[in-house]
Amino acid sequence: MLNIAAMLLSSRITRLRRSLLAALAATALAATTAGCGASQGAVLTPQEIEAHGVAFIRGPTDKVFQAALDALKTLDYEIALERPDKGLIVTKHRSVRDVAVGSSHAAVELSYSRQYTIEIRTAGGGSSRVTATPAVFENAADISARPVWDLESPLGERELWKQLFAKIEQLL
């Protein structure tokens, strides 16, 4: 009888530890990925990407493609995939921050990284349409659909898009 009670108590403590670690991880996630001054993260919607993650850059797609590739490298992204024939560039995950979250009984290390997928299409009139879709990862899990995005701060996604597009134009 005592062993069953001890097992139940141990099981409850384990569940409480997991709940505590999950809550601490969620807090760390919000502070890490939505952070830099933002109190709560936002969801990165297709409308947000269309409004701020798309630029029309004057130049043929082959030249804009090369400038985008060079811009990403300048911004410390390694390239995982480059397909000039498809107008597609995918970066490797670039580490943003590592966080240790825990209690006196257990700890979890969380590693956050980001990645870009760039699509370049002919837009007519001598311009190219560049779409930059970012992704955020917690360890290996894609958490981009969660409300983890900082969109408007000086270090937010809109500013990062501006910097990327400015670098592409500079390198043309």
pTM assigned to the model: 0.73
Pull the structure tokens for residue 26. Answer: 């969620």
pLDDT at 3 > cutoff 60: no
pLDDT at site 103: 74
pLDDT at site 73: 96
Domains of the chain: 2-171 (3.30.310.80)
pLDDT at site 13: 43
pLDDT at 4 > cutoff 80: no
The pLDDT tens digits of the residues spanning 103-115 come to 777 778 888 999 9
Q: Cα-flanking dihedrals φ and ψ of residue 103, to 5°?
A: -130, -170
Q: Tell me what the pLDDT averaged over the chain comes to.
A: 81
Mean predicted confidence (pLDDT) in 129-156: 94
The pLDDT tens digits of the residues spanning 28-86 come to 444 344 333 333 689 999 999 999 999 999 999 999 999 999 999 999 999 999 999 99
pLDDT at site 57: 96
pLDDT at site 89: 98
Query: E strands along the chain, which residues?
Result: 54-58, 79-83, 88-91, 94-102, 107-124, 127-138, 141-142
The pLDDT tens digits of the residues spanning 122-136 come to 998 889 999 999 999
Neighbours of 60 (CB within 10 A): 13
